[in-house]
Chains A and B, each alone.
Chain A
Amino acid sequence: MSKELEFLSKRVAQSKMSRRDFMGRASALGVSSAAATAMLSTAAMAEGPKKGGMIKLGMNGGASTDTLDPGLVASQATQNALRHWSDTLVNASPTGELDMRIAESIDSSPDAKTWHFNIRQGVEFHNGKTVTAEDAMKTIERHSNEESKSGALGIVKGIESMAVSGNTLSITLDTPNADLPYLLADYHLAIQPNGGMDDPNAGIGTGPFTVEVNEPGIRYGFKKFANHWDESIGHVDESELLIINDATARMAALQSGQVHMVNGVDPKVAGLLDRAPGLSVKNVSGRGHYVFIMHTDTAPFDNKDLRLALKYAINREEMVDKILRGYGGVGNDMPINASYPLFDDSIPQRAYDPEKAAEHYKASGHDGSPIILRVADAAFPGAVDAAQLFQQSAAAAGIPLEIKREPNDGYWSEVWNKQPFCASYWGGRPVQDQMYSTAYLSTADWNDTRFNNAKFDELLGQAKAELDPAKRKALYSQMGNIVRDDGGVICPMFNDFIDAVSDKVAGFEPDPNGEMMANFAPSRVWLA
């Protein structure tokens, strides 16, 4: 029986038999529809990518105010559009290694201070120009110079000087950084002709697709770029990205077959959606995490005992169950989880312990006045509910929390990074160094917990210059422990990226770097 089905599934993959017929035969042979669907996708993978067709995506996070300028890209749909038409020097692979793109090879000085990127030869921009090391240098320069308003400014501002000789771009840093290639994988740093200095909004890059339609907040249309340098990607002829910000409308569009893939599936409906015919929910644990952040320099949170009391007073498992419906993992009061390279999994997991919480609360000598926690659902989906769970579990330890609801509108400008205790979200970074340098170094711009620990800063500097992975891992482990015990971050959970994909799509492999296969889905999937 299975031999016959296997044969039939191959026929479907070769389009010699319809899907419907296959499902009919499978059920006649007594195979459940879930098992039959799984067989089909295995067969489609084995058959290899099929060329042609038009893939349609429905994504949230787009507005009519968006631009094509890579430096200003921030939300989900615009990131995806950017990945259609551009390449970066390198990518971070799903397993955490470097994937060479415009850079063909990389080497560095032993102190990790000077880096050399050899630019791939014969790569063509959509306007016919050939990519040079000069273009790469101008790109980084545009994001790091004095007038820069780029989202990548924080990443590239540690560059002391750049130089080009032949095909090689050399970058010298102020301070050593062993992770520089990973930092340059940031989507903002898309290579543009002359670095985009002439027109950052032109939408001309080296990506597998060219921009055909640019209607911000409505839709983007792309065509396969015939002269793309990497023939292993870009299977469909055309791609259309529809902006569907309303979650229900997005799910309905997938179910009614108007789009093939959607992002941002609400954990509340993911289970139900997965049961709908003709599609499957794809989730992957990522590096994004939901947090409650305390300013460690502001009373009462400047007291380590009070911080520990609150950390013991939160029930992480309950939050993963109720807020994420199981689509996520528990946090450990540090911004790092097993999705990161060089993660030390021997660091003990902190658990809900009302007695210990009460003990630390007493030791802190807090006067018993309610501790104000500011939340809005803008912080993360379900933030208000999570705060209420936190309030309940803290009350069991005798710690009074008062929830203050803030408006969604203006939350990031008025509450986050301004108020001493609030809910927040971090999208995660490709490597530990970047996460810590972005938000935990005492001098970081986005140090939203006002964390100031000299030992931590010193270790971070050491790890940056350390090229030996084993030694770096030990350093990161120490740093993780410091943040976990002394930091101002209460991290109850890491959320999964949840997408849903039609059965007509093959080759979808979730990537912990982000939703929609870290936004590379359009160039890697094909229509079965």
Chain B
Amino acid sequence: MHPVLKLVAQRLALGILLLFAASILIFAGTQILPGDVAQSILGQSATPEALANLRKELGLDEPAISRYFSWLGNALQGDLGTALTNGQEITKSLGSRLKNTLFLAFWAAVVAVPLAIFLGLLAVRYRERWPDKLISAVTLASISVPEFLIGYVLMFYVGVKLGWAPTVATIYDSMSLGQKLNAIALPVAVLTMVVLAHMMRMTRAAILNVMQSAYIETAELKGLTSFQVIYRHAFPNAVAPVVNVVMLNLAYLVVGVVVVEVVFVYPGMGQYLVDHVSKRDVPVVQACGLIFAAVYIGLNMIADIVSILANPRLRHPK
């Protein structure tokens, strides 16, 4: 077997094992939380009688272990079940939420990744001079401010004062692509500012590291412009750590944007998950948790594989 294929197979198997472990952790976590789904649905006004009726209907009177295994059995067959709280099919409602989350993450990545890499290259080109310092200062400042605050500030100035973009980013199927992009303008801006610094700094550091090498000197000596040197010779050799960071940030864009979703009322997975955690709706929490874990594991796997492929020493191990 080709060593690369073997590697991918190994990683995949490990990933599935990790997912299984994650599902156990999530289930255990939801069991530890105080209260249960019946109590949360009926709220303060629940009578013991109504509670007992609801628990029975939802099958909560069965022991936790047997509930876990019956869930696992169905999940392995692709059936994530129905939400305990509103009886909707999880696959269906989760599907549209996941689509929205990926939509937001995609557009944020489309803006942020090229911008970060370009700014990183620019910073190297003008290192230790004012463009480098300005780029670093701005991106570091924006990563240091909590994202909800950036959200509120943009909302107030861009949304309320200037009226350039809507403050509520609710999107739905009947909207055209243009309307959707207009709606998500502010959350994309916030997410871009949050993930920019990490990727930009990594690009800068990785390339500067390579710039010390002898072949860069050669490239300079043969008369290439400094940007060509960076772009053609330094960047390909620095790509592994950059891809790693980009993947980490992409994973963040999918799994870590709960706060931005809440602030901009964006109907994505994060909000969906939080709603169901607070209602103790275990099947939905499990399903969301699995998807988040899968995205995280998957993107990290891609990062690993890309960095191995990009490095001949790792590609052809002795």
Name A's B-contacting residues (CB within 8 A). 58, 63-67, 72, 74-75, 146-151, 153-154, 201, 213, 215-219, 242-246, 248-249, 252-253, 255-259, 409-410, 412-414, 416, 425, 445-446
Contacts and interface: CB of A to CB of B under 8 A. Distances in A.
Contact of A201 (B49, B87, B172): B87
A239 B93 CA distance: 23
Contacts of B86: 64-67, 201, 216
A369 B39 CA distance: 34
B44 A256 contact: no
Interface string B94-105: 000100000000
Given A64-B271, A257-B163, 7 more contacts: A63-B278, A65-B279, A67-B85, A149-B57, A215-B267, A412-B39, A446-B44
B262 A246 contact: yes
Nearest to B155: A252
B50 A65 contact: no
Interface in B57-115: 57, 83, 85-88, 93, 97
Contact of B159 (A58, A201, A256): A256
A257 B165 CA distance: 11
Interface string B263-299: 1110100011001101101000000000000000000
B43 A64 contact: no
Contacts of B256: none
A410 B263 contact: no
B53 A410 contact: no
30 contacts: A63-B275, A65-B85, A65-B276, A74-B45, A148-B50, A149-B41, A149-B42, A150-B50, A151-B43, A151-B46, A153-B50, A154-B47, A201-B87, A215-B172, A216-B88, A217-B271, A218-B172, A244-B168, A246-B265, A248-B152, A248-B155, A249-B167, A249-B264, A256-B160, A256-B166, A409-B33, A410-B34, A413-B40, A414-B35, A445-B49
Contacts of B166: 256, 258
B135 to A, nearest CB: 30
Given A215-B267, A242-B168, A65 B281 contact: yes
A249 B276 contact: no
Contacts of A72: 41-42
Given A64-B275, A215-B172, A246-B265, A253 B167 contact: yes
A410 B35 contact: yes
Top 4 A-B residue pairs of the complex, sorted by shortest distance between their CB atoms: A413-B35, A410-B34, A65-B85, A63-B275
Nearest to B166: A258
Main secondary structure on B side of the interface with A: helix
B23 interface: no
A141 to B, nearest CB: 15
A466 B272 CA distance: 50
B227 interface: no
B267 A147 contact: no
Contact of A253 (B163, B168, B279): B168
Of A64, A201, A246, which is in contact with the most chain B CB atoms at under 10 Å from its CB? A64
Contact of A65 (B168, B267, B275): B275
Given A255-B160, A446-B45, A242 B265 contact: yes
B53 A148 contact: yes
B155 to A, nearest CB: 5
B20 interface: no
B87 A64 contact: no
B102 to A, nearest CB: 17
Interface residues of B, number: 50
B101 to A, nearest CB: 13
B54 interface: yes
Contacts of B237: none
B279 to A, nearest CB: 5
Contacts of A149: 41-42, 50-51, 53-54, 57
Contacts of A213: 172
Contacts of A58: 168
A74 B47 contact: no
Given A217-B275, A249-B155, A65 B83 contact: yes
Interface string B183-216: 0000000000000000000000000000000000
Contacts of B264: 249
A220 to B, nearest CB: 11
A249 B275 contact: no
A424 to B, nearest CB: 8
B317 interface: no
A445 B50 CA distance: 11
B223 interface: no
Nearest to B264: A249
Given A409-B34, A414-B34, A218 B263 contact: no
A410 B33 contact: yes
A219 B172 contact: yes
Of B41, B47, B93, B159, which is in contact with the most chain A CB atoms at under 10 Å from its CB? B47
Contacts of B163: 256-257
B231 interface: no
Contacts of A412: 35, 39, 43-44
B35 A67 contact: no
B126 interface: no
A185 B50 CA distance: 20
Contacts of B93: 64
A202 to B, nearest CB: 13
Contacts of A248: 152, 155, 263
A154 B42 CA distance: 12
Contact of A413 (B39, B47, B57, B97): B39
Contacts of A252: 152, 155-156, 159-160, 167
Contacts of A75: 43
B48 interface: yes
A50 to B, nearest CB: 25
Contacts of A66: 85-86
A223 to B, nearest CB: 14
Nearest to A240: B170
